[in-house]
């Protein structure tokens, strides 16, 4: 084999490698696009459900399991700053016991006859708070998915698709592990949020706008998360959050 023939063979092999890599990249990006588009559609449908049902809804993200679920919430619609998705049962039980001990020293007329009210009063005396809200997975609403998928969805983690980082308005810091929720209200509004989904090489970003509950899907990441999270209804920026902002 001459040098020229060897160079031609190497060029063909190199071209084949490039084509294989490009094909693989297109396949994995297709998975990323599909998962991102599906999430955006679920968010839009959740906002509609909140209006249709007249009840607050939320999407709970589990960044450890790479799943998300739509839930309907009954009770209070006010969010606490840095509110946990699920109450810490151990801490609540400990607070309840401390509250009951304090209740023992009160006169009978100060005690609540209703068990639920008594529990809340005990927790309040212990310096704890129990949210006046219960949330459960949506069961009776049509998801609108062409394949008939339900309200609990899973990312294609086996193909490298995962939640990268999530910002929500009621939390001071972004979330990269554990659980976090985005809330949608019966008025058609929602809390502002940013959800990044990645395949390890590329990232798609889903934006949720607070005033209108509008959902937008973008290719890539935001250079400055504050540009979205801290704009008021007039489009002006509020003061920046500590520790967050422009990316390097």
pLDDT in tens, 86-144: 665 665 566 556 655 655 655 554 445 555 555 555 545 444 444 556 788 888 766 65
State yes or no: pLDDT of 160 exceeds 70. yes
Average pLDDT for the chain: 76
Please state, in angstroms and as integers, the Cα–Cα distance from residue 116 to each residue in 74, 93, 104, following that order.
Answer: 16, 14, 17
Domain count, the chain: 2
For residue 79, what pLDDT is reported?
A: 77
Shared domain for 52 and 116, answered yes or no, is no
Evaluate whether 129 touches 80 at the Cβ level (below 8 Å).
yes
Instruction: Give the integer Cα–Cα distance in Å for 142 and 139.
Output: 8
The CA distance from 236 to 114, in Å, is: 47
Which is higher by pLDDT, 119 or 44? 44
206 beta partners? 195, 217
Q: Are residues 191 and 219 in the same domain?
A: yes
Asked whether residue 244 carries a pLDDT value surpassing 90, the answer given is no
Tokens found for residue 201: 């090489």
pLDDT(68) > 90: yes
Confidence at 85, pLDDT banded by 50, 70, 90: confident
pLDDT for res 173:
92
- Does 118 lie in the same domain as 138? no
Higher-confidence position of 248 and 43: 43
- 219, part of any domain: yes
| Residues 221 and 143 both lie in one domain | yes
Helix, strand, or coil here: 206?
Answer: strand
Please report the pLDDT score of residue 157 as a whole number: 87
Q: Is-contact 49 138, C-beta < 8 A?
A: yes
Q: Are 226 and 245 in contact (CB under 8 A)?
A: yes
- Please tell me the predicted confidence (pLDDT) of residue 175: 95
Query: Same structural domain for residues 102 and 206?
Result: no
**Strand partners of residue 73:** 56, 135
- The residue that leads in pLDDT, 159 or 19, is 159
Check whether residue 165 and residue 188 sit in a common domain: yes
More confident residue, 11 or 122: 11
- Residue 129: per-residue pLDDT: 46
Asked if residue 166 and residue 65 are part of one domain, the reply reads yes
What pLDDT band is residue 15 in, cutting at 50, 70 and 90? Answer: low
Confidence at residue 78, expressed as pLDDT on a 0 to 100 scale: 73
pLDDT single digits (tens) 182-237: 999 999 999 999 999 999 999 999 999 988 899 999 999 998 898 888 765 544 55
One domain for residues 63 and 178: yes
By residue range, what is the domain housing residue 157? 3-78+134-229
């Amino acid at each position: 084999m001459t040098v020229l023939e060897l160079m031609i063979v190497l060029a063909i092999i190199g071209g084949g490698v490039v084509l294989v890599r490009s094909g693989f990249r297109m396949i994995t990006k297709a998975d990323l696009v599909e998962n991102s588009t599906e999430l955006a559609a679920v968010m839009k449908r959740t906002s509609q459900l909140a209006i249709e049902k007249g009840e607050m809804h939320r999407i709970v993200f589990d960044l450890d399991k790479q799943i998300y679920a739509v839930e309907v919430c009954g009770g209070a619609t006010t969010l606490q700053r840095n509110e946990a998705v699920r109450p810490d049962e151990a801490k609540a039980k400990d607070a309840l016991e401390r509250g009951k001990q304090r209740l023992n020293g009160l006169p009978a007329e100060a005690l609540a006859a209703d068990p639920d009210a008594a529990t809340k009063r005990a927790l309040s005396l212990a310096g704890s708070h129990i949210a006046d809200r219960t949330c459960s997975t949506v069961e009776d609403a049509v998801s609108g998915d062409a394949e008939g998928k339900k309200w609990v969805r899973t990312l294609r983690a086996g193909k490298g698709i995962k939640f990268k980082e999530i910002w929500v308005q009621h939390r001071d810091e972004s979330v990269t592990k554990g659980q976090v929720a985005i809330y949608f209200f019966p008025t058609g509004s929602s809390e502002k949020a940013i959800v990044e989904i990645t395949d390890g090489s590329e990232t798609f970003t889903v934006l949720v706008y607070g005033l209108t509950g509008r959902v937008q899907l973008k290719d890539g990441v935001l250079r400055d998360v504050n540009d979205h999270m801290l704009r008021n209804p007039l489009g002006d920026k509020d003061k920046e959050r500590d520790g967050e902002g422009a990316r390097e």
